[in-house]
Amino acid sequence: MKLKIIEIPNPLLRQKSEPIEKVDEALSSLMKDMLETMYSANGVGLAAPQVGILKRVVVIDVAHDDERPAPFLMANPEIIWRSEEKEECSEGCLSVPNQFASVERSYAVKVRYLNEKNEKVELLAEGFLARAVQHELDHLDGIVFIDYVSPLKRKMMIKRLEKQRRKAAKEE
């Protein structure tokens, strides 16, 4: 089932999400719905607060369109190690549609989480996957990537987003 993605400035995106007790059937079905929602929006990651659910759950798949899908479904994800090496790269977010900005993040991270079968897993992620992990985990603490850009740039991005919405409303 496809879920509705909420966008800034929806206050739910600024809340801290709650840990889950275990990945039961209801939760793994939420993970699958989130994955379907993410794929249909052409995203590479989606956190539960982005569909208005304040639970520590994220889904990620950074495989290219011509590659086999490689989804990660994570509950209670926690970064347990970060590389010293950082990398700056352009980033976007389904809750800030069509806006992109360069963000500096750790080049690699190790993340511990419960998968869709309630198994404890550790993943060493690098490059774009590590970036997606850090971006999605931020959502669980109410952080959106535009928080890392300068106030002026942030203002411009929000303005462009509002303009885009007005235009879309007019065309409807």
- 136 has catalytic annotation: yes
Q: Which of 36, 119, 136, 162 is catalytic?
A: 136
Tokens representing 5? Answer: 């993605």
Instruction: Report the residue from 31, 93, 101, 133 that binds Zn ion according to the rule CB under 5 A.
Output: 93
CA–CA dist 44, 67 (Å, integer): 13
Q: How many residues bind Zn ion (CB under 5 A)?
A: 1
H helical segments located in 15-150: 25-40, 127-140
Q: Judged by CB under 5 A, does residue 13 bind Zn ion?
A: no
CA–CA dist 172, 168 (Å, integer): 6
- Interface segment toward Zn ion; rule CB under 5 A; list 13-21, 52-60, 89-97, 153-161: 89-97
Nearest distance, CB of residue 171 and Zn ion, angstroms: 25
Report yes or no: 41 and 5 within 8 Å, Cβ to Cβ. Answer: yes
Nearest distance, CB of residue 136 and Zn ion, angstroms: 7
Residue facing Zn ion at closest CB distance: 93
* Chain centroid offset of residue 10 CA: 15
Nearest distance, CB of residue 23 and Zn ion, angstroms: 22
What amino acid is encoded at 156 in this protein?
M
Summarize as ranges the residues that interact with Zn ion (CB under 5 A). 93
Name the residues annotated as catalytic: 136
